[in-house]
Amino acid sequence: MIGSPGFTVEPWGLTASGPDPSVLAQTESLFALSNGHIGWRGNLEEGEPRGMPGCYLNGFFEEYPLSHAEPGYGYPETGELLLNTVNGKLLRLLVDDEPLDVDEGTAQRHERRLDFRDGTLRRELEWTSPSGRTVRVRSARLVSLVERSLAAIEYEVEAVDACRVVVQSELLANEPLPFEHPDPTVAARLARPLVPVAHAADGTRAELVHRTAASGLMMAAGMDHHISAPAGAVVEAEGLPDLARTTIAVQLAAGERLRIVKFVAYCWSPSRGEAALRDEVDGVLSVARRSGWETLLERQRAFLDGFWRTADVEVEGDAELQQAVRFALFHVLQAGVRAEGHAIPGKGFTGPGYDGHAFWETETFVLPVLLATCPEAARDALRWRHSTLDEARRQACLLRQRGAAFPWRTVSGRESSGYWPASTAAFHINGDIADAVLRYVRATGDREFEERFGVELLVETARLWMALGYTGEDGGFHIDGVTGPDEYSAVVDDNLYTNLVAWQNLRGAAEAATKHPSRAEALGVGDAELAEWRRAADAMAVPYDAVREVHAQSRDFTRRERWDFEATSPDDYPLMEHFPYFELYRKQVVKQADLVLAMAQFPDAFSGEEKLRNLAYYEAITARDSSLSAATSAVLAAEVGDLRLASEYAAETALIDLDDIHDSVQDGLHLAALAGVWTAIVAGYAGMRHEPDGLRFAPRLPDGLTRLSFGLRLPGGALRVDVRPDTTTYAWNGDSPLVLRHFRDTAEVRPGEPVTLPTPPLRAPGIPIRQPPGRAPRTLISRNGD
SS3 label, residue 766: coil
Residues 363, 359: Cα–Cα separation, whole Å:
8
Would you call 487 a catalytic residue per the annotation? yes
SS3 label, residue 643: helix
Q: End-to-end alpha-carbon separation of the chain, Å?
A: 13
CA separation (Å) from 350 to 54, 147, 493, 741?
Answer: 8, 19, 37, 39
Residues 627, 361: Cα–Cα separation, whole Å:
11
| The residue type at 437 | V
Residues 429, 404: Cα–Cα separation, whole Å:
11
- Angle at alpha carbon of residue 755, lines to 751 and 758, rounded to 5°: 165
Integer Rg of the chain from CA? 27
Closest listed residue to residue 463, CA positions, set 538, 410, 530? 530
Using the CB atoms, write b or e for 343-381: b if 16+ within 10 Å: bbbbbbbbbbbbbbbbbbbbbbbbbbbbbbbbbebbbbb
Residues 706, 725: Cα–Cα separation, whole Å:
6
- Which of 456, 487, 529, 648 is flagged as catalytic? 487
| The residue type at 316 | E
Q: Are residues 177 and 56 in contact, defined by beta-carbon separation less than 8 angstroms?
A: no
H or E segment at 137? Answer: strand 134-143
| The residue type at 262 | K
Strand partners, 585: none
Q: Are residues 197 and 86 in contact, defined by beta-carbon separation less than 8 angstroms?
A: no
Q: Cβ neighbours of residue 465 under 8 Å, at least 6 residues apart?
A: 403, 430, 431, 479, 502, 505, 506, 536
Q: 3-state secondary structure string, 76-92?
A: CCEEEEECCCCECCCEE
- Angle at alpha carbon of residue 706, lines to 679 and 325, rounded to 5°: 30
- Angle at alpha carbon of residue 335, lines to 333 and 338, rounded to 5°: 85
Query: Other CB atoms closer than 10 Å to residue 663's CB: what's the count?
Result: 10
Cite the active site residues: 487
